[in-house]
């Protein structure tokens, strides 16, 4: 059990002993580790040679990202269990995971295995989204206390505050064999159907194990639109939005731009090669 105690677990810590009891009563020997800093879950798995059967992650999508990155570097890939406790929990929504720890513990012990795709951005991996451009730094610049109190509203308020300073990202991207040159507001390369709490795809059409990315590119507007118009554009579509389906995506920009992976800060790069590893990891859900 890898536990990020700083990721929305304040009201759930007293349930951890109950979860351990469920696992032990189902024949598991349990080892617990509480992460101490960013990337600690990754570092723990990379230095630990014990061949676990299951790794359960208690935390947000960023903690789950650290674990997936570690497993993608290892030959032995244990099954995963996920107890989402972050602000958005977009990844867990693909498996209809509950925020109730006891429900998830019992589901894990039932042994139902699902596979999921893992994306690769240059030399790093991501579970469900690589995002670039305007406002992509909002997840890691938004105050933690505000996120715990307001949830996704905190992201919206932070994003609105950044609108006046937004500049276009001049990029060239290639998808499905065609190259496009545009001034872009921001872009998303994602698996599954949900990003930042917004349902962007029909669950019947898009799955996190289908070996394909959904790609959404938003043009930089000739006239800066107001916040509500921007959100309406994302929800209902417009000529500003370009959508693609592909198993790869490459991008080159005139200068380094902001990138996030699963809502966590990535290296700011002006070049990105993104590809998908179909059904690379397995989760009990």
**How does pLDDT run across 134-159, given as a tens digit for each residue?**
766 554 444 444 344 434 444 444 44
pTM of the model: 0.84
Q: Which CATH architecture best describes the domain 125-279?
A: Sandwich (2.60)
**To 10 degrees, what angle do helices 61-71 and 40-47 make?**
20
Burial classification of residue 273, based on how many CB atoms lie within 10 Å of its CB (0-12 exposed, 13-18 middle, 19 or more buried): middle
Q: What is the mean pLDDT of residues 56-78?
A: 94
Residue pair 189/249 in contact (Cβ under 8 Å)? The answer is: yes
Confidence of residue 230 (pLDDT cuts 50, 70, 90): low
Asked whether the domain spanning 125-279 has the same topology as the one spanning 2-117, the reply is no
List the one residue out of 246, 262, 237, 270 whose CA is nearest residue 66: 262
The pLDDT of 187-212, averaged and rounded, is: 82
Q: What percent of the chain has pLDDT over 70?
A: 79
Q: How confident is the model at residue 120 (pLDDT cuts 50, 70, 90)?
A: very high
78: pLDDT confidence band, cut at 50, 70 and 90?
Answer: very high
Examine the pLDDT at 229 and tell me if it is beyond 80.
no
Position 227 scores a pLDDT of 52
What confidence tier does 206 reach under pLDDT thresholds 50, 70, 90? Answer: confident
Domain range 2-117, its CATH number among 3.90.180.10, 3.40.50.10330, 3.50.50.60, 1.10.645.10 = 3.40.50.10330
Q: Where are the domains of the chain?
A: 2-117, 125-279
CA distances from 263 to 6, 9, 66, 182 (A): 16, 18, 12, 24
């Amino acid at each position: 059990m890898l536990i990020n105690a700083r990721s929305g677990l304040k009201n759930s810590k007293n349930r951890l002993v109950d979860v351990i009891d469920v696992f032990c009563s189902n024949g598991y020997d349990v080892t617990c580790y509480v992460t101490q800093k960013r990337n600690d879950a990754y570092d723990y798995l990379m230095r630990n040679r014990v061949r676990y059967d299951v790794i359960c992650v208690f935390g947000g999508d960023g903690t789950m990202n650290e674990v997936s990155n570690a497993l993608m570097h290892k030959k032995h890939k244990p099954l995963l269990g996920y107890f989402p406790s972050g602000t958005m929990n977009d990844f867990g929504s693909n498996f209809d995971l509950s925020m109730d720890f006891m429900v998830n513990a019992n589901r894990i012990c039932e042994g139902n295995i699902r596979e999921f795709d893992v994306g690769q951005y240059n030399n790093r991996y991501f579970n469900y989204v690589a995002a670039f451009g305007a406002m992509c730094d909002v997840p890691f610049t938004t105050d933690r206390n505000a996120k715990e109190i307001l949830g996704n509203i905190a992201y919206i308020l932070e994003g609105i505050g950044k609108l006046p300073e937004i500049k276009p990202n001049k990029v060239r991207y290639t998808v499905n064999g065609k190259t496009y040159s545009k001034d872009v507001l921001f872009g998303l390369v994602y698996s599954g159907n949900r990003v930042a709490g917004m349902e962007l795809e029909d669950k019947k059409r898009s799955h996190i194990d289908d070996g394909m990315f959904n790609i959404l590119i938003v043009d930089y507007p000739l006239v800066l639109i107001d916040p509500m118009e921007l959100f309406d554009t994302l929800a209902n579509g417009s000529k500003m939005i370009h959508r693609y389906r592909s198993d790869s995506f490459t991008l080159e920009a005139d200068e380094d731009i902001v990138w996030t992976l699963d809502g966590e800060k990535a290296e700011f790069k002006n070049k990105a090669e993104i590809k998908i590893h179909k059904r690379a990891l397995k989760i009990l859900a």
